[in-house]
Structure 1
Amino acid sequence: MEGTVSSDRRPTIMVTNDDGIDAPGLRALVHVLVSTNRYEVLVCAPDSEKSAVSHSITWRHPLSVKQVEIDGAKAFAVSGTPADCTSLGISKTLFPSTPDLVISGINMGSNCGYHIVYSGTVAGAREAFFNGVPSVSISYDWVSAKSNIHDFTLAAEACLPIISAILTEIKNQTYPQRCFLNIDLPTDVVNHKGYKLTKQGKAIFKMGWRQVTSNIQGGKMLSTMTMDTDSFASTETDASTISQEHRLFKREVLGAQVEDDDDTDHKSLQEGYITVTPLGALSHAEKDSQAYFTDWLPGVAERLSSSAL
């Protein structure tokens, strides 16, 4: 762990996200943290929307950084990915010291199951974990026509007890260093059923492709877990102008595939719980797969030798 919270100063929290520094989820989280008057709040977030970029990083060119005004916080907008923002923010290059805790979010849309892999929000927290800094990713299960902007404030307030408890453990040097937390809040956050410890499930939206004759002009994937197929805007063009050398293909949702046990993130979230899922960075195969390849691999060389005769 990079450091500990001393008793003579306020803990420092750095906030990042993947929806961009102007996103309502980040602004609500920062406002709630600042309003407690208990934390020094820093912000280092992408200057534009970067959903579903996973853990990509910028390598070949420098990042542009611009200070922005957010009441009560020292904030910078960065021309990079969520992982870039976390890496820069904890490096002591942009801020004078390493934050005590990194929070990535609040994302517009849940991040459960296999979609955790795609999530830039989760990557923002994972990057801090890679570097020994305690971290949390937070997502709100936004649903069109049901959710509103004020729900982000309610979600942030619902997470305050967890944030406070984490910082207490950090101060006492008792917080575990081998994981970070992924938190998802239900759509009806005001009536949530409380916190529930969960594990990452296997929920995923199966995606396909179809050829289109439109120039996609924006629109936003609301999250890596909640795909809103009405959230894209397009302008029709004459199909005859689309040559075989320049064709357009658009993702489409083919359907959901959910294989959830009772203690998985997606199922518990749909039941109305605030899910708290410890995550690591290693991707272990299922035990039966490991057992299969234990028997299979030694025979590969034998079969190769036999076929060469």
Structure 2
Amino acid sequence: MDGTAIADPRPSLMVTNDDGIDAPGLRFLVDLLVAADRYRVLVCAPDSDQSGVGHGITWRRPLSAKRVEIMGATAFAVSGTPADCASLGISGKLFVGTIPDLVISGINIGSNCGYHIVYSGTVAGAREAFLYGVPALAISYNWKEGKSNVHALRLAADACLPLINAVLNELKTKTYPEGSFLNIIVPTDVANHRDASIRMRQLKQENHVVPKEHVRRLDVGLVDRSTYRQKASGRGIGHRAKKSGYCAKDIGVAESTGRLGNRLQERTMCRRIR
């Protein structure tokens, strides 16, 4: 549908979401990626708001994809769910001959952490790409009524750009953790959440119980000036990190059984705010 494949040495990033292709979070992120001039930017997003649809797919009716003009990007609006969009976008059919190097779902208006990831269309867009072997990120902004405004979404996109570049670098050097996708939560007061450091933790959750001995710190190679100690709990490390002023990235990995409730591996990377 995209006409002809374009020979472009830059990495291909595909952006999707669940708020719809006209949502400000997606548009700010796409504008930022285009302005960086370091990526080939592709967009495949729902043509209407699909918030809360989870990992639903369309199968009783055909999907349609309509070309949308977004300066500097190749974009399509799809009559389906975020999972539909991700599946179509990575198929090599919509963007002829191109399979994205990285799928980014967001930026969602509202936090998606802990068990909310089961219901989130934003997370589902990233998960769908992950299930087919394409690296993926979900990005959500912790919107608070009375405190947040649309401009904060632009700041959230700017805050996530270094993380996107870090993932691309790890993919290039083959150091990106296999069998995982990242769920990034940007704090509400993003304007004051600068000069951040990174911590990564990995925990194994079985039947919603997280023994302390299963929690370990992973060295990400960045040194910070503060520490964050996470008490193991079944509530979810992402929720506790966000409450403590972190940008938490919950990485959920479904095993071959597909039953997230029984066995779930979760890695969490936290950006400490100073």
Q: C-alpha displacement at 1:165, in angstroms?
A: 1.1
Q: C-alpha displacement at 1:270, in angstroms?
A: 2.1
Correspondence for 1:106: 107
1:237-256 map, 5 Å: none
1:26-37 map, 5 Å: 26-37=26-37
Using the alignment, how far apart are the partners of 2:201 and 2:50 within structure 1? 27
Note the alpha carbon deviations across 1:253-275, whole angstroms, 9 max, x for none: xxxxxx95798111211222111
Distance 1:198 1:47, change over 3 A: farther
Using the alignment, how far apart are the partners of 2:127 and 2:119 within structure 1? 12
SS at match of 1:94: coil
Q: Is the 8 A contact 2:114 2:235 kept in 1?
A: no
Using the alignment, how far apart are the partners of 2:162 and 2:61 within structure 1? 40
SS at match of 1:142: coil
Q: Is the 8 A contact 1:135 1:180 kept in 2?
A: yes
SS at match of 2:104: strand
Matched, 1:264 2:265: no
Correspondence for 1:69: 69
Q: C-alpha displacement at 1:198, in angstroms?
A: 5.6
Using the alignment, how far apart are the partners of 1:149 and 1:21 within structure 2? 16
RMSD (CA atoms): 2.3
Q: C-alpha displacement at 1:171, in angstroms?
A: 1.6
Q: Is the 8 A contact 1:196 1:273 kept in 2?
A: no
In the alignment, residue 56 of structure 1 is paired with which amino acid? G
Using the alignment, how far apart are the partners of 2:243 and 2:58 within structure 1? 35
Q: C-alpha displacement at 1:174, in angstroms?
A: 2.7
- Over alpha carbons, which structure has the higher Rg? 1
Q: Is the 8 A contact 1:198 1:265 kept in 2?
A: no
Q: Is the 8 A contact 1:11 1:39 kept in 2?
A: yes
Correspondence for 1:84: 84
Q: How many residues align?
A: 224
Using the alignment, how far apart are the partners of 2:115 and 2:44 within structure 1? 26
Distance 1:41 1:286, change over 3 A: closer
Using the alignment, how far apart are the partners of 2:133 and 2:123 within structure 1? 16
> Identity of aligned pairs, percent?
60
Correspondence for 2:226: none
In the alignment, residue 158 of structure 2 is paired with which amino acid? E
Using the alignment, how far apart are the partners of 2:117 and 2:199 within structure 1? 18
Distance 1:260 1:152, change over 3 A: farther
1:34-183 map, 5 Å: 34-96=34-96, 97-183=98-184
Using the alignment, how far apart are the partners of 1:198 and 1:72 within structure 2? 37
Using the alignment, how far apart are the partners of 2:86 and 2:22 within structure 1? 17
Note the alpha carbon deviations across 1:72-111, whole angstroms, 9 max, x for none: 1110000000000000000011002100000000000000
Using the alignment, how far apart are the partners of 2:202 and 2:178 within structure 1? 18
Note the alpha carbon deviations across 1:3-43, whole angstroms, 9 max, x for none: xxxxx811110000000000010001101111111111000
Using the alignment, how far apart are the partners of 2:193 and 2:14 within structure 1? 26
Using the alignment, how far apart are the partners of 1:146 and 1:276 within structure 2? 22
Using the alignment, how far apart are the partners of 1:199 and 1:276 within structure 2? 11
Q: Is the 8 A contact 1:18 1:50 kept in 2?
A: yes
Using the alignment, how far apart are the partners of 1:82 and 1:191 within structure 2? 31
Q: Is the 8 A contact 2:104 2:126 kept in 1?
A: yes
Q: Is the 8 A contact 1:126 1:281 kept in 2?
A: no
Q: C-alpha displacement at 1:177, in angstroms?
A: 2.2
Distance 1:131 1:261, change over 3 A: closer
Structure 1, gaps ≥5 residues long? 1-7, 203-258, 288-309
Q: Is the 8 A contact 2:20 2:49 kept in 1?
A: yes
Q: Is the 8 A contact 1:196 1:274 kept in 2?
A: no
In the alignment, residue 82 of structure 2 is paired with which amino acid? P
Using the alignment, how far apart are the partners of 1:280 and 1:268 within structure 2? 19
TM-score using structure 1 length: 0.68
Between 53-62 and 14-23, the greater mean CA deviation after superposition: 53-62
Correspondence for 1:213: none
Distance 1:152 1:64, change over 3 A: same
Between 153-162 and 116-125, the greater mean CA deviation after superposition: 153-162
Matched, 1:274 2:247: yes
TM-score using structure 2 length: 0.76
Using the alignment, how far apart are the partners of 2:18 and 2:165 within structure 1? 23
Note the alpha carbon deviations across 1:207-264, whole angstroms, 9 max, x for none: xxxxxxxxxxxxxxxxxxxxxxxxxxxxxxxxxxxxxxxxxxxxxxxxxxxx957981
